[in-house]
Amino acid sequence: MSTVVAQSLHVFGLRSHVANNIFFFDEQIIIFPSGNHCVKYNVDQKWQKFIPGSDKSQGMLALSISPNRRYLAISEIVQEKPVITIYELSSIPCRKRKILNNFDFPVQRFISMAFSPDSKYLLTQTSPPESNLVYWLWEKQKVMAIIRTDSQNNAVYQVPPNITSIVQVIKLVSFNPQDNTQVCVTGNGIFKLLRFAEGTLKQTNFQRGEPQNYLAHTWVSEDKIIVGTDTGKLFLFESGDQRWETSIMVKEPTSETGNLEVIRESESLIQFPTISSPVPSYEQVMMASNNSQLAMPQVFAIAAYSKGFACAAGPGRVLLFEKMEEKDIYRESREIRIPTDPQSNERSQSDKQDVLCMCFSPSEETLVVSTSKNQLYSITMSLTEISKGEPAHFEYLMYPLHSAAITGLATCIRKPFIATCSLDRSVRIWNYESNTLELFKEYQEEAYAISLHPSGHFVVVGFADKLRLMNLLIDDIRSFKEYSVRGCRECSFSNGGHLFAAVSGNVIHIFATTSLENISNLKGHTGKVRSVVWNADDSKLISCGTDGAVYEWNLSSGKRETECVLKSCSYNCVTVSPDAKIIFAVGSDQTLKEIADSSILREISAFDVVYTAIVISHSGRMMFVGTSVGTIRAMKYPLPLQKEFNEYQAHAGPITKMLLTFDDQFLLTVAEDGCLFTWKVFDKDGRGIKREREVGFAEEVLITKTDMEEKAQIMLELKTRVEELKMENEYQLRLKDMNYSEKIKELTDKFLQEMESLKTKNQVLKTEKEKQDVFHRERIDDLLDKQSQELQDLECCNNQKLLLEYEKYQELQLKSQRMQEEYEKQLRDNDETKSQALEELTEFYEAKLQEKTTLLEEAQEDVRQQLREFEETKKQIEEDEDREIQDIKTKYEKKLRDEKESNLRLKGETGIMRKKEKRIYDLKKKNQELEKFKFVLDYKIKELKKQIEPREDEIKVMKEQIQEMEAELERFHKQNTQLELNIMELWQKLRATDQEMHRERQKERDLEALVRRFKTDLHNCVAYIQEPRLLKEKVRALFEKYVQRADMVEIAGLNTDLQQEYARQREHLERNLATLRKKVVKENELRRTDYVRIMQENVSLIKEINELRRELKFTRSQVYDLEAALKLTKKIRPQDVPETVPSEAMPSIAPTMRLNEQQETGRIIEMQRLEIQRLREQIQEQEQVPGFHPLSVVRLPSLLESEVDFEVQTK
């Protein structure tokens, strides 16, 4: 192992998402999770002790402390497996007592735990989907009982039918504080009380009403539980039955500003505001939209104490409830708020933090709470009693902490300061010597990188929008220079402080601290730069990036001196040895590289983890690396080849930054879990590690002149005010002394007079008392004589009544036996009838379900077949069109050749006819007519093209109608699914009837037990038959115990009620069955009607498609003929002769209007006949499918009528 050792000293941070994340160990020490540790923090002495997590732990999930404060249980995930570790807190240091990691039941993680009152048993709850509640005897690692707590294993709790889905997640488990065998489980829709008996956990309560999302609960007594919900409701349950309910409403404080002023005057000069939320909560959004509307808060935490309980009541608010003496109810007594922050960038939102956990100290003197923004607050309970009428306010338990991942870390030489920045938009300055927070400020933008000047007076911060250089004043962080460097992810002051580097993407900007100017820009990286480091004399800068490059830059020339590029590795961090000869880099390839002179000297394996940060001591003897799993490794330098290092559990997330202080005494680490750790480091060999400081830390602070003048002015005003108050108080005291002396004299005289009058009155009362005594003695003697006489009369009367009651009892006993026999007979008949009806209903609905399933499958198959036939028909039509187009093309090419030959022949004839002037005149006239004819033809061609476009749109509309029909078929499928759900609902109603029958049987058994108890008590009364007074008392007790009007009515009407209930259930089932039958018949009629409509629409569509095809073909033929005629005209026109032809050539043009018209018509008629025949066959197949009725109302057109219509339209 390595001789380099690191000891954790202090941590600044909290992990609020761990369940039960804060406890009191005693009055001064609290326990809370931070990083991958549990921290014992002494509130008075401010020291911390650590309980580290398990090796290779992936984070803590839940905590629990035993009632005797001796044991602490931690739930973790170690190497993807759940582990429960139990520590003994009394030992120093805390040692592991037991580890529960072998489970014979499925489990992903344990999300809640609780110790029994005697600390011998442990209750654990697993996460969904298992949701098992496990009852452990943890000392022996033995599972005593296990039960599933969600609704799937809950025989009593039924989800109402109007609740479609309830995600049941267990939030909290607990033991009865006085009973090891009784436990409580709450969650989303779950509130269960269970008792451990005979090796099993059995539920003892019956959950009534609508399920709630129960977020928290606590035991306020042996049998009473307070439960809070996500809608701001509080319930009091006693033995599982609800006894009390109240709702919490969000109330805005009316005098918040005044309270803040009082708090501000009582605090120190340095203010520690709370963390503001970048996203407004639900309550804030609701208030912004409607100020009069109040949102319901969520009760995330409840804690009990001797006077009542405290509960979270929405963001930033805790209410104290006290029990009223005369009733079992609680009333709100106090309100405690988280104070708003006047220096926050979102002041109105700074106090809107949900309280997730709360805990009272053992003496109930202090209340500590943790919030959703990783903050710890406390309040002394005595202060809440002082602030009557106004809400009390929490105070920070330690100091404000980061609420998001820490992205930047820096330290300096002259002061013991640590600077951090975070994604929570804050910059914080810590003191690692006193373990306190020095300065804190929030901004509008997220902060990505930070660096402290060696003097500790300046800081440079890279924000999302700009790079800011700021002064660290005594009570503020104030910016004095801004640079337009957006998204700066890395920045660093040089060791001398005269320069600082800032990274923007793949460019490194160098700035001078004195002139504040950009003196150089280093460009060379092709990826984002992840880390930069200066050498000891600030002459060189080393950088690494995601492009796998490590460059060494010479700042005097701005050029690269050495470079090492490895494309397969994305570097995370780089550092350099004190002599600047060796560069160390870590990246995504799970190795640590030593680089010198542009080459990798060697690579040391990280053993299956990724190194995210690295730092080397100024002495060059120690090296520390941070990993992606949150651990740190300490190793000596030169680096060993073997696995020789010390690994320490540190954070619960990847480490983002690591630093060593200038004297090599402390190691600082930050990570994505928002925690800052300080470590004491040393080398066991002691070889030149410690560096003595020549001078101590600087005490100077920066303050502006304006602030000094303001403070001096305020001090002067305060001194004047103090003098005035002194004089005024002395005058007031003199006046009060004079008034009090006069009042005392008056009161003395008054009291002397009253004393004399009281003495006289006392003497008179004594005389009256003696007279009254004599009168009362005589009265008592008379009453005693009268009472003895009445007693004798009552004894005689009661003896007679007793005999009559005994005879009535015999008659009732016989009647009870007869009724019992009748009830048993009726129950047997009901059982037989119910089982028979259930079997008949089961068979009927199974047959119907099978029939519907068959019909549905056949319908789906028919639809698929029709789709295939449609695609095939479409394909054939396209092929036929292609062939027709090819035939027409061939025909017109042949015609074109004939026209060319005719043209040549006409040219020869025109040479002969030039001699005839009259013929020329006629040809010119004919040419003019042809010009007119050409203009008319052009206009007709345009009109035909306009007619074609609407037809194509109609075809598109028809296709959309076909798609709508397919959607309608899908809707029918959904309706069938709904029918199946109705059948399931009937099954649930049958099960409810069965449960009702079981309850009736239980009621009968209770009556039998009541009769047996009455017999026994009556037998006991007979023993006093000789003592009338005792017999009278016993009979009266029997009457009060057993004879009640409700019982008499119930005995008289029991048989009638049973018959009425049976008739009502039967009528209900018959009504549901008739409704289902009507629905099925109606669905069949609707389906048949829709099918008929679809067939009619298909027939009409097919007709329109055929008509469009015929019109399209006819139009195309006319277009082709007209284009051919125009081409002929254009070819004749270039000749300077009349463009007429002989009369004998004119008839040859007419046949071009329709070529092979009879063949084309015959082919179209044949295609339509085949299409109609195929549709008729499909209709016949549909009629043969079971469940479909013949379409008697639809009559397709006959083939003869279709042919006649087509011929008429063609002509």
Give the Å distances, CA to CA, from 260 to 264, 265, 267, 339, 347: 6, 9, 10, 7, 12
Query: Residue 742, SS3?
Result: helix
Instruction: Encode pLDDT of 26-70 as tens digits.
Output: 889 999 999 889 999 999 888 999 988 888 888 889 999 999 889
Q: Is the pLDDT of residue 268 over 50?
A: no
Q: How far apart are CA 534 and CA 462, in angstroms?
A: 18
CB 1168 within 8 A of CB 1206: yes
Query: Residue 658, SS3?
Result: strand
Instruction: Encode pLDDT of 373-393 as tens digits.
Output: 889 999 988 877 766 667 888
Mean pLDDT, residues 481-505 taken together: 91
Q: Is the pLDDT of residue 1073 over 80?
A: yes
Amino acid at 1210: T
Give strand ranges (E) for 140-232.
142-148, 170-176, 179-187, 190-197, 200-203, 214-219, 224-229
Q: What is the pLDDT of residue 357?
A: 92
Q: Which helix (H) or strand (E) holds 1136?
A: none
Q: Is the pLDDT of residue 929 over 60?
A: yes
Q: Is 667 exposed, middle or buried (0-12, 13-18, 19+ CB in 10 A)?
A: buried
Query: Rounded to two decimals, what is the model's pTM?
Result: 0.58
Q: What is the pLDDT of residue 169?
A: 64
For residue 1044, how many C-alpha atoms fall within 13 Å in the half-sphere facing its CB? 6
Q: How far apart are CA 442 and CA 428, in angstroms?
A: 9
Q: Picking from 145-154, 1009-1018, 1102-1111, which range would have the lowest pLDDT averaged per residue?
A: 145-154
Q: How far apart are CA 375 and CA 352, in angstroms?
A: 12
Q: Angle at CA 946, nearest 5°, toward 943 and 947?
A: 90
Q: Let me know how many helices (H) and strands (E) the chain has, helices first.
A: 9, 57
Nearest of 943, 915, 985, 981 to residue 1115 by alpha carbon: 943
Q: How far apart are CA 630 and CA 393, in angstroms?
A: 36
CB 432 within 8 A of CB 418: yes
Q: What is the pLDDT of residue 1045?
A: 46
Peptide bond into 67 cis (omega under 30): no
Q: How far apart are CA 500 and CA 516, in angstroms?
A: 10
CB 360 within 8 A of CB 24: yes
Which residues fall within 8 angstroms of residue 425, CB to CB, at 6 or more apart?
276, 278, 345, 442, 443, 444, 445, 446, 447
Q: What is the pLDDT of residue 251?
A: 64
Q: How far apart are CA 221 and CA 205, in angstroms?
A: 17
Q: What is the pLDDT of residue 386?
A: 66
Q: What percent of the chain has pLDDT over 90?
A: 19
Q: Picking from 39-48, 554-563, 1200-1209, which range would have the lowest pLDDT averaged per residue?
A: 1200-1209
CA quadruple 360, 215, 221, 193: dihedral sign:
negative
Q: What is the pLDDT of residue 1135?
A: 41
Instruction: Encode pLDDT of 1090-1112 as tens digits.
Output: 888 888 888 888 888 888 888 88
Q: How far apart are CA 220 and CA 232, in angstroms?
A: 19
Residue 1066: other Cβ atoms inside 10 A: 14
Q: Is the pLDDT of residue 257 over 80?
A: no
Instruction: Encode pLDDT of 685-730 as tens digits.
Output: 755 455 555 567 777 777 777 888 888 888 889 999 999 999 999 8
Q: Which residue is associated with the tokens 């494309």?
A: 567
Q: How far apart are CA 422 and CA 443, in angstroms?
A: 11
Q: How far apart are CA 738 and CA 474, in angstroms?
A: 50
Q: Is the pLDDT of residue 782 over 70?
A: yes
Query: Torsion angle of alpha carbons 626, 628, 630, 635, nearest 10°?
Result: -30
Q: How far apart are CA 1060 and CA 768, in angstroms?
A: 71
Q: Picking from 358-362, 854-858, 877-881, 1176-1180, which range would have the lowest pLDDT averaged per residue?
A: 1176-1180
Q: Is the pLDDT of residue 441 over 80?
A: yes
DSSP secondary-structure letter at 1150? G
Q: How far apart are CA 3 and CA 683, in angstroms?
A: 6
Give the Å distances, CA to CA, from 836 to 730, 832, 990, 1088: 100, 6, 13, 35
**CA 1153 from chain center: how many Å?**
76
CB 1166 within 8 A of CB 974: no
Q: Which residue is associated with the tokens 């470079």?
A: 563
Instruction: Encode pLDDT of 952-1010 as tens digits.
Output: 788 888 888 888 888 888 888 788 888 888 888 888 888 888 888 888 889 888 888 88
Give strand ranges (E) for 466-590.
467-472, 477-483, 490-493, 499-504, 507-512, 518-523, 529-534, 540-545, 549-554, 559-565, 571-576, 583-587
Q: How confident is the model at residue 860 (pLDDT cuts 50, 70, 90)?
A: confident
Instruction: Encode pLDDT of 661-677 as tens digits.
Output: 988 889 999 999 999 99
Mean pLDDT, residues 306-317 taken together: 89
Q: How confident is the model at residue 502 (pLDDT cuts 50, 70, 90)?
A: very high
Q: Which helix (H) or strand (E) holds 10?
A: strand 4-12
Q: Is 926 exposed, middle or buried (0-12, 13-18, 19+ CB in 10 A)?
A: middle
For the chain, the average pLDDT equals 81
Q: What is the pLDDT of residue 1154?
A: 44
Give the strand pairing for 170-176 and 142-148: unpaired
Instruction: Encode pLDDT of 726-741 as tens digits.
Output: 999 989 998 998 989 8
DSSP secondary structure letters along 20-49: S--EESSSSEEEEEETTEEEEEETTT--EE
Based on its alpha-carbon atoms, the radius of gyration of the chain, rounded to whole angstroms, reads: 49
Q: Angle at CA 619, nearest 5°, toward 618 and 625?
A: 65
Q: Which helix (H) or strand (E) holds 676?
A: strand 676-683
Query: Residue 581, SS3?
Result: coil
Q: How confident is the model at residue 165 (pLDDT cuts 50, 70, 90)?
A: very low
Q: What is the pLDDT of residue 256?
A: 39
Instruction: Encode pLDDT of 344-353 as tens digits.
Output: 667 666 667 8
Q: How far apart are CA 144 and CA 139, in angstroms?
A: 12
